[in-house]
């Protein structure tokens, strides 16, 4: 169990993922849970307990980490080998899936998104680009430039 002290609340702690490592961050304070998202259940912690009594189970922490959220600014978001959900929230973002059945969310007004899905073993099965309201097959232009596919509508663009 990881016991967090006074001043650290569920609302103030960001849960992020880099590869299979999970980070709990508040301001400049950070705890790294090595390999916790590797799917084995043998790494990380069984639960995270806050001073107010709130408890996050290991499964909850992994789920929070795999729902990868960006900001309206420019972000580079990294996933794990497992199934991750990315929502960059706009700006100029790079989302790196690292394998698994990943879902990438892109809504109208998000700006520019580059998706890098490196999966040497699983191919493209189970990978989803979820386009939001206002982005339709009829309104999005699809172009090819070298090995890259671009989906463009107005100033919004996704590079695959």
Q: In the chain, what percentage of residues exceed pLDDT 70?
A: 96
> Taking the model in full, what pTM does it have?
0.73
Q: Tell me the backbone φ, ψ of residue 27, rounded to 5 degrees.
A: 60, -125
The pLDDT tens digits for 37-84 are 887 777 789 999 999 999 999 999 999 988 888 888 898 888 877 888
Is pLDDT of 14 > 70? yes
Quickly tell me which residue has 């698994």 as its tokens. 100
Domains of the chain by residue range = 2-65, 70-159
CB 79 within 8 A of CB 96: yes
The pLDDT tens digits for 134-158 are 999 999 999 999 999 999 999 999 9
Locate 41 and state its tokens: 């259940």
Q: Tell me the backbone φ, ψ of residue 64, rounded to 5 degrees.
A: -60, -40
Q: How many residues does the chain have?
A: 160
The pLDDT tens digits for 83-100 are 889 999 999 999 998 888
Is pLDDT of 117 > 90? no
User: E strands within 19-135?
Assistant: 21-26, 29-33, 47-49, 55-57, 67-69, 76-78, 85-87, 91-96, 103-106, 111-116, 128-131
């Amino acid at each position: 169990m990881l016991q967090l002290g006074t001043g650290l609340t569920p609302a103030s702690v960001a849960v992020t993922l880099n590869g299979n490592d999970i980070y709990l961050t508040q301001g400049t304070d950070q705890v790294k849970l090595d390999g916790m998202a590797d799917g084995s259940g043998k790494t990380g912690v069984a639960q995270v307990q806050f001073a107010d009594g709130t408890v996050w189970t290991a499964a909850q922490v992994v789920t929070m980490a795999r729902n990868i959220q960006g900001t309206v600014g420019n972000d580079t978001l990294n996933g794990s080998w497992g199934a991750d959900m990315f929502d960059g929230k706009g700006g100029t973002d790079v989302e790196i899936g690292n394998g698994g059945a990943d879902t990438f969310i892109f809504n109208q007004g998000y700006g520019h998104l580059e998706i890098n899905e490196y999966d040497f073993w699983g191919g493209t099965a189970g990978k989803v680009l979820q386009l939001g309201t206002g982005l339709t097959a009829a309104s999005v232009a699809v172009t090819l430039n070298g090995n890259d596919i671009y989906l463009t509508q107005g100033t919004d663009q996704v590079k695959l």
